[in-house]
Chain A
């Protein structure tokens, strides 16, 4: 699985906002230009980004294997026709290029994931998105991070308990609704306890924000992000 890994690469030292800007610029221009020439340049750039974040190509491809399956299937589906000539090379090529740009965008976002701890992302959200939505999204991301393993444990326990009681012999609807109902009621119990703790600790709209500052390395990278975003329109 693709996650944050502590390291000391160039990307690890960048401000999360810079890295978000690069991804958005890269995605915009990749989506706008599914041409061989543009994709050639973007491939080189994606390679640089991955090297800058210490991302392993093989592991990233494994992490995105399900998406890759669809990306590989799309050109085949596009190419196959129901009558002569049975395979339309032009349609398959267009779809193949379109799929390839998606792969590049995935690789670039893997660099962000590997190099950015949740704490930094939360700070970036709280400092970039103004007002109440920014505060709720920032704290919300921290809460999802905190509760993800807890709820995974809940779901696993529920499934094991069902299996132990011959749950595999029950109908699929029955099983899905049992997992859903138990999962939901446990989640709500936890949420209601969490909300007491948030209230008791004075959950506020205007807290002291987590520290975050651009360094000198960020500025040239931000320029690259802006150039990428602008190139989407040419």
Chain B
């Protein structure tokens, strides 16, 4: 469970998160929508302590994030925009192993997790492939596998579809749907809700650092006008 309690955050005196309170349960599939600059990225980076609140608190499974960063970062896996710059190794398997290695796990356990994470993103048996030889969609999926190998309860993705063509976008979405079906919570920031709404349990929308919409997709799609969000037609 990820909890925000009256979180504020300012950059250079500009308030970017303004009294944000929010609870995300395990297994929930949540979309985070909002125009560019509305504070989505800043909010996400509080979930695993990449940023700390100026006031208020963020808790993961009841523990304040800054009290145990390792626990927060292994419970909340995170994938950013531009997966190409997020790889630490030139080959797929070595890269996915990076997180579990940092946790100090036994080699057998690391190998098991790498295989499972690659299978979960439809890249089983591709461990020896060179990252540079992969397509954009495959790179996104390997970046997701890198987070999954930490066996997180939540997977947080910041605009993961940037630069992907439609088939690649669908291949990533399909994997997210199957992860969610297996019980991993997903928090996905995007301003393009066209084909993700049917997967989501809940849509949250931000404007100027505040949460202005929060509810099941069916109930809130009408409230997204003027937020610069692409919504499904019909």
Chain A hits for B82, CB < 8 A: 193
Alpha-carbon distance between A80 and B77 when the two chains are bound, in angstroms: 67
24 A-B pairs with C-beta separation under 8 A = A119-B94, A142-B89, A142-B90, A143-B88, A146-B90, A149-B132, A193-B81, A194-B85, A197-B87, A197-B88, A200-B50, A200-B80, A201-B73, A201-B88, A201-B99, A202-B70, A202-B74, A206-B104, A207-B101, A208-B100, A208-B101, A208-B105, A208-B110, A211-B107
Interface positions, chain B 108-155, Cβ under 8 Å from A, are 110, 131-132, 143, 146-147, 150
CB < 8 Å neighbour of B102 from A142, A150, A203: A203
Interface residues of B (CB under 8 A from A): 45, 48, 50, 70, 73-74, 77-78, 80-82, 84-91, 94, 98-107, 110, 131-132, 143, 146-147, 150
Alpha-carbon distance between A205 and B71 when the two chains are bound, in angstroms: 16
A197, A203, A204, A209 interface centre (most CB from chain B within 10 Å): A197
Alpha-carbon distance between A149 and B91 when the two chains are bound, in angstroms: 13
Query: Residue-by-residue, is A160-171 near B (CB-CB < 8 Å gives 1, otherwise 0)?
Result: 000000000000
Indicate whether A199 reaches chain B with its CB closer than 8 angstroms: yes
B73 touches A200 (CB 8 A): yes
A200, closest chain B residue (CB):
B78
With contact pairs A146-B131, A193-B80, A207-B102 given, residues A198 and B88 touching in the complex (Cβ less than 8 Å) = yes
Indicate whether A132 reaches chain B with its CB closer than 8 angstroms: no
Say how far B142's CB is from chain A's closest CB, in angstroms.
Answer: 12
B99 touches A202 (CB 8 A): yes
Chain A hits for B48, CB < 8 A: 200
A150-B132, A196-B86, A201-B146 are known contacts; what are 20 more A-B pairs with Cβ within 8 Å?
Answer: A119-B91, A143-B88, A146-B87, A146-B88, A146-B89, A146-B90, A189-B85, A194-B88, A196-B45, A197-B80, A197-B87, A200-B77, A201-B88, A201-B98, A201-B150, A202-B74, A207-B102, A208-B100, A208-B101, A208-B106
With contact pairs A146-B131, A193-B80, A208-B106 given, residues A202 and B85 touching in the complex (Cβ less than 8 Å) = no
Chain B hits for A197, CB < 8 A: 80, 85-88, 143, 146
Give the number of residues in A that approach B within 8 Å (Cβ atoms). 27
Indicate whether A145 reaches chain B with its CB closer than 8 angstroms: yes
* Majority-rule SS of A interface residues: helix
Query: Residue-by-residue, is A136-161 near B (CB-CB < 8 Å gives 1, otherwise 0)?
Result: 00010011011001100000000000
Chain A hits for B70, CB < 8 A: 202
A198, A202, A206, A207 interface centre (most CB from chain B within 10 Å): A202
Alpha-carbon distance between A195 and B113 when the two chains are bound, in angstroms: 23
Alpha-carbon distance between A134 and B152 when the two chains are bound, in angstroms: 29
A118, closest chain B residue (CB):
B90
Say how far B90's CB is from chain A's closest CB, in angstroms.
Answer: 5
With contact pairs A199-B50, A200-B73, A208-B110 given, residues A194 and B94 touching in the complex (Cβ less than 8 Å) = no
A150 touches B84 (CB 8 A): yes
Indicate whether A190 reaches chain B with its CB closer than 8 angstroms: yes
Alpha-carbon distance between A189 and B86 when the two chains are bound, in angstroms: 12
Alpha-carbon distance between A206 and B84 when the two chains are bound, in angstroms: 26
B150 touches A202 (CB 8 A): yes
